[in-house]
Amino acid sequence: MTKTLISFGHGYSAAELAKTLIPQGWRIIGTTRREEKCDALRAAGVKPVLWPDTDMTPYLDQASHILISAGPDADGDPTLRLYRDQIAERAEQFEWVGYLSTTGVYGDHRGGWVDEDTALTPSTRRGQLRVEAEAEWQSIPGLPLHIFRLAGIYGPGRGPFAKVRNGTARRIVKPGQVFSRIHVEDIAQVLAASIARPNPGAAYNLCDDDPAPPEDVIAHAAELLHLPVPPAEEFATAEMTPMARSFYGESKKVRNDRIKTELGVRLKYPSYREGLTALLQAED
């Protein structure tokens, strides 16, 4: 029997998962707000649906799986705002529901370690909205929900090489600052593993094995390109937008043991070093 996945907010990570599922015979229905994206979705084998303009009820009737990538806004989760009742009514129909959240729900831990059992103490409005969205999805009785808390995403088209090449990359140094990150192919690998081995109610951190200072990543990218390493800039005096500066307000190392022990995942890119090398090789 053909499996059908509705992908609400079919973006970068969902598109990578589709590359895995479609060759296995899956039907993927991807929502987008932009009509100009529809041709590209069709070319990738995804049925595009303009949303929220389209009534999703007939598609929900056909779905065996749901992936939610669309993030919350000031009014809450957009998928639940429109379709909570319809999803709740069909909870037993779905074999797997995945919600893509963020490690921002843990807040700032001054460089310390967090895992899936760490209390959710977001320090930004963005993180608080994610905590509220997670709770709203969890409140639907009988829904086979799986929460995936993603670290910083990189991959094809989302690496540091372009900025290093054009001279706009910056090495902002804040003592003790570390970020976790995850290659998009490993996101798809984890989601596919969870679909194959559902565990409703589970939450998973999606990150690699090597949380690292951001300036180290930029330096490594420059070295791979055989270009000068951008000079270090002190965070305290660096000129930055409020948005850019806000990302440095949280520092933590994220544990990923659960995706390995429960789902049997072996990361393709256990650190940014392997990931950046693969991105550069793919360019060549």
Domain topology for 4-154+182-208+254-269: Rossmann fold (3.40.50)
CA atoms within 13 A on the CB side of 77: 22
CA distance 254 to 114: 5
Whether residue 216 contacts residue 169, with contact meaning beta carbons closer than 8 Å, is answered with no
CA angle (152 as vertex; 134, 270 as ends), nearest 5: 110
Enclosing H/E stretch for 18: helix 12-21
Task: Give the pLDDT confidence score for residue 80 in this predicted structure.
Answer: 97
Instruction: Compute and round to an integer the Cα radius of gyration of the chain.
Output: 19
pLDDT of the residue at 154: 97
What is the predicted pLDDT for the residue at 102?
98
Q: How far apart are CA 42 and CA 28, in angstroms?
A: 10
pLDDT band at 127 (very low <50, low <70, confident <90, very high): very high
Q: What is the pLDDT of residue 48?
A: 98
Q: What pLDDT, in 10s, does the model give residues 214-260?
A: 999 999 999 999 999 999 999 999 999 998 898 899 999 999 999 99
pLDDT digits (tens, 9 = 90+) for 193-215: 999 999 999 999 999 999 999 99
Q: How many CA atoms lie within 13 A of 212 on its CB side?
A: 17
